Amino acid sequence: MSVGDVSKRILLGRKLRSSQLGETLLPKRIALPVFASDALSSVAYAPDEVFIMLSLAGVAQYVWSWKIAIAVALVMAAVIASYRQTVHAYPSGGGDYEVATVNLGRTAGTTVASALLVDYVLTVAVSISSGAQYAASALPALQGHEALLASVLVVILMAINLRGIRESGSVFAVPTYAFMVAILGMCAVGFARMLAGNLPDVESARFDITPEPGLGGQLTGFALVFLLARAFSSGCAALTGVEAISNGVPAFQRPKSRNAATTLLLLGMIAISMMLSVIVLAKEMGLRYVDPADLGRLTIDGQPVPADYDQHAVIAQIADAVFSGFPVGFYLVVTVTGIILVLAANTAFNGFPVLGSILAKDGFAPRALGNRGDRLAYSNGILMLAIMAIVLIVLFDAETTRLIQLYIVGVFVSFNLSQLGMIRHWTRLLRTETDPAQRRRMVRSRTINAIGLSFTAVVLVIVLVTKFLAGAWITILAMLFFFLVMRGIRRHYDNVEAELAADEDDSVLPTRVHAIVLVSKLHKPTLRALAYAKATRPNVLEGVYVSVDDDATRRLLEDWDARGLDLPLKVLHSPYRELVRPVAQYAAEIRKANPRGVVAVYIPEYVVGRWWEQLLHNQTALRLKGRLLFSPGVMVTSVPFQLRSSEIARQRERRDELRVRPGDLRSGRARERRSSRGGQIQR
């Protein structure tokens, strides 16, 4: 085993056979943290965004915070109920993409796919950037290096996911459950203290907020509606990640659909409880929260807060006050919140590769995205997601406030098209279904999806109106880019398939085969290539030598005559010392003289055992093969000749074959290897 293979095994673990795919499926207790971490982590920033938007008009508008939270909760409940219908109807893992493609057509499906791809990349960028900012605020040494830290965290997550979905789920389960316990526990303590009448204020309660110019006083009419719409659209960031479970149904243990639907229900109950509790507690504890880039609007007795004031996140302020006198509780909440913000990106690392594999199968993405790696994960999709997220993080310098404006547009586009597709799905089935019980179930499901569509359509309009100029236009352009790229890839695959389709002319054999063997000198590799070419019985066979030195050419001709070879030797003179061009031109001339014939070019090549030896040999052969690949009617055949050093590679492969691997004792292969080694097992 080479050093590269050893390093790969240390990083990724042992290879898994295709038959072991069932061993990687997830039970509900692991699937919940794997697919729900993104939606749950939004509790760490969605309430912040609601209060930031309402603060534009001053503290007086905070009275709307709990009402906005209820509106967001209703939308989330409707969306989750709708997706429970989706996982039952389409359990193959295509999710929104499959629903839209089957029921609305290829264009709608590609639109959904482009929206989801953008949303997955943004999920990683936003979550990791938020976690990096959180870490930098706690550790001053990291300040100014947030983009580098975020990029490193993306690479770490990528490496963990390359080990397989079950292992990554086991790694992330503990911190995700710790986050649930910490936040729900904090809220429970807070409500208990509120009922007891001793709920303390948060640290920012002593401040006041100066409204933005033109938004002061009592807002009415359009200004108030627009402000509440902006706050509502920002709070809807809590819905990101809900769709991930519908895309990951194949990763669940059987019964897949039922387990996925149950996990969705648990996600909805937990996320709604956490978000409502945090927003209600924040309002009751006198929170004052503004855009971190606009801290000058926070005042004390009419004076702005000090320039070095550090505005802590909403959850951090609540935890500090609720657990006053119990710092362990505060540090637990803050720590697990920072961790979950990083781990939220894991939802995208599970959803993006699966969607990429489905798109690759349908011809809308490179086929490489459909290949499983050593650990049965879609490794190429994981790598692609990591690269795009790192590029986005570097471009926006890991600033969450800039990235968040790009968020949720894509996911609500997919929500709408998915719900519309589900309505058409149930309508189509109702036309042929006669069983009353089944019809009642279908009507109920269609009603749920219709309610979900009405809610998500309203949210999408609000998001586009309130966030378009703030950065949503970038997301729309990115979706358009992915849409055009996917359609271009599909067009390419369709053209290639049409071009490769066999027809009647393909059964006609070539009229003649003109074989040429490239000769550099008369040695064993050349003689072997000549013998092999002769055994194929071509119509014409000749050796071809490119002359760049008259003395070397003369010696070769003398050796050729002395050996008495019964084959002609064609000498191509190259005054400019080129080797590749004369051969390519000669092959083209032969093909031109007989368009219905083929030219078979045999190239002797050395087989070596060390990587550095490859750099010393076969370079001309590689260039020649690369040139001839574009020559129609020219076939290239490599005739290998094994040098002694190639035995090193054979011995290395043999040792690797005889090594006992995990599972070999159970399957009986270890006994076979022991017998082949004379009773000795290599460990």
- pLDDT class for 312, splitting at 50, 70, 90? confident
Q: Is 113 left (phi over 0), alpha (psi -120 to 50) or beta?
A: alpha
**CATH code where residue 403 lies:** 1.20.1740.10
Tens digit of each residue's pLDDT (9 = 90 or more) over 68-78: 999 999 999 98
Residues 606 and 457 in one domain: no
Where b means 16+ CB within 10 Å and e means fewer, 350-388 reads bbbbbbbbbbbebbbbeeebbebbbbbbbbbbbbbbbeb
CA atoms 643, 646, 647, 648: torsion sign: positive
> Is residue 672, in this structure, part of any structural domain at all?
no
Q: Are 154 and 390 in contact (CB under 8 A)?
A: yes
What pLDDT score was predicted for residue 512? 87
Please name which of 281, 317, 273, 313 lies closest in space to residue 180, comparing C-alpha atoms: 273
Residues 244 and 287 in one domain: yes
- pLDDT class for 21, splitting at 50, 70, 90? very low
What pLDDT score was predicted for residue 53? 87
- pLDDT class for 164, splitting at 50, 70, 90? low
Residue range of the domain that includes 616: 508-643
Q: Is the pLDDT of residue 208 over 70?
A: yes
Q: Cα 612–615–621 angle (5° rounding)? A: 145
Rounded to two decimals, the pTM is 0.70
Residues 416 and 535 in one domain: no
What pLDDT score was predicted for residue 301? 79
The mean per-residue pLDDT over the stretch 380-396 comes to 90
Instruction: Write out 526-553 in H/E/C secondary structure.
Output: HHHHHHHHHHCCCCEEEEEEEECCHHHH
Tokens of 546: 């490119």
d(CA 149, CA 141): 11
- pLDDT class for 505, splitting at 50, 70, 90? low
DSSP 167-208: HHHHHHHHHHHHHHHHHHHHHHHHHHHHHHT-PPPPGGGG-E
- pLDDT class for 1, splitting at 50, 70, 90? very low
Residues 467 and 611 in one domain: no
Tens digit of each residue's pLDDT (9 = 90 or more) over 230-246: 888 888 878 877 877 87
If you compute the radius of gyration of the chain from its CA atoms, what whole number of angstroms results?
Answer: 33
Instruction: Write out 23-46 in H/E/C secondary structure.
Output: HHCECHHHHHHHHHHHHHHHHHCH
Residue 390's SS3 state is helix
Please tell me what DSSP assigns to residue 598.
E
d(CA 503, CA 216): 76
- pLDDT class for 577, splitting at 50, 70, 90? confident
Please name which of 562, 561, 640, 472 lies closest in space to residue 118, comparing C-alpha atoms: 472
Residues 457 and 534 in one domain: no
Q: Are 311 and 221 in contact (CB under 8 A)?
A: no
Residues 450 and 515 in one domain: no
Tell me how far the alpha carbon of residue 291 is from its chain's centroid. Answer: 31
Partners of 642 in the beta sheet? 607
Query: Quick count: other Cβ atoms within 10 Å of Cβ 474?
Result: 15
d(CA 125, CA 389): 5
Please tell me what DSSP assigns to residue 345.
H
* 129 contacts: CB under 8 Å, gap ≥ 6: 146, 150, 393, 396, 398, 399, 400, 403
Tokens of 148: 């580098």
Peptide bond preceding 306: is omega within 30 degrees of 0, i.e. cis?
no
Partners of 113 in the beta sheet? none
The mean per-residue pLDDT over the stretch 141-160 comes to 85
Number of domain units in the chain:
2
> Is residue 659, in this structure, part of any structural domain at all?
no
Residue carrying structure tokens 């087989």: 607
- Angle (deg, nearest 10), helices 314-322 and 256-284: 70
What pLDDT score was predicted for residue 461? 87
> Is residue 452, in this structure, part of any structural domain at all?
yes
Tokens of 589: 């001339």
Residues 380 and 525 in one domain: no
Q: Which of 494, 519, 545 is the last residue of a domain?
A: 494
Residue carrying structure tokens 């990724």: 12
- pLDDT class for 671, splitting at 50, 70, 90? low
> Is residue 338, in this structure, part of any structural domain at all?
yes
- pLDDT class for 426, splitting at 50, 70, 90? very high
Please name which of 520, 125, 193 lies closest in space to residue 352, comparing C-alpha atoms: 125
Q: Which of 494, 521, 538 is the last residue of a domain?
A: 494
- Angle (deg, nearest 10), helices 436-467 and 409-430: 160
- pLDDT class for 219, splitting at 50, 70, 90? low
Residues 11 and 40 in one domain: yes
Partners of 637 in the beta sheet? 602
> Is residue 161, in this structure, part of any structural domain at all?
yes
Q: Is 506 left (phi over 0), alpha (psi -120 to 50) or beta?
A: alpha
> Is residue 577, in this structure, part of any structural domain at all?
yes
> Is residue 343, in this structure, part of any structural domain at all?
yes
* 405 contacts: CB under 8 Å, gap ≥ 6: 467, 470, 471, 472
Please name which of 76, 105, 100, 77 lies closest in space to residue 89, comparing C-alpha atoms: 100
Q: Is the pLDDT of residue 344 over 60?
A: yes
Tell me how far the alpha carbon of residue 339 is from its chain's centroid. Answer: 20
> Is residue 628, in this structure, part of any structural domain at all?
yes
Tokens of 68: 């906005």
Residues 269 and 358 in one domain: yes
Q: Which of 494, 527, 543 is the last residue of a domain?
A: 494
Please tell me what DSSP assigns to residue 305.
P
Please name which of 377, 338, 334, 340 lies closest in space to residue 356, comparing C-alpha atoms: 377
Average pLDDT of every residue of the chain: 82
- pLDDT class for 468, splitting at 50, 70, 90? confident
Residues 386 and 514 in one domain: no
Q: What's the burial of 308, exposed, middle or buried (CB within 10 Å: 0-12/13-18/19+)?
A: exposed
Residues 296 and 347 in one domain: yes
Q: Is the pLDDT of residue 456 over 70?
A: yes
CA atoms 148, 149, 152, 154: torsion sign: negative
Residue 628's SS3 state is helix
d(CA 299, CA 238): 30
Q: Are 622 and 518 in contact (CB under 8 A)?
A: no
Residue carrying structure tokens 């975020």: 150
Percent of the chain with pLDDT over 90: 28
Number of H helices and number of E strands within the chain?
27, 8
What pLDDT score was predicted for residue 540? 93
Residues 545 and 457 in one domain: no
**CATH code where residue 554 lies:** 3.40.50.620
d(CA 88, CA 21): 22
- pLDDT class for 3, splitting at 50, 70, 90? very low
Please name which of 589, 652, 585 lies closest in space to residue 624, comparing C-alpha atoms: 585
Tens digit of each residue's pLDDT (9 = 90 or more) over 611-631: 777 777 767 888 888 888 888
- pLDDT class for 683, splitting at 50, 70, 90? very low
CA distances from 111 to 7, 206, 239, 362, 421 (A): 40, 48, 19, 14, 13
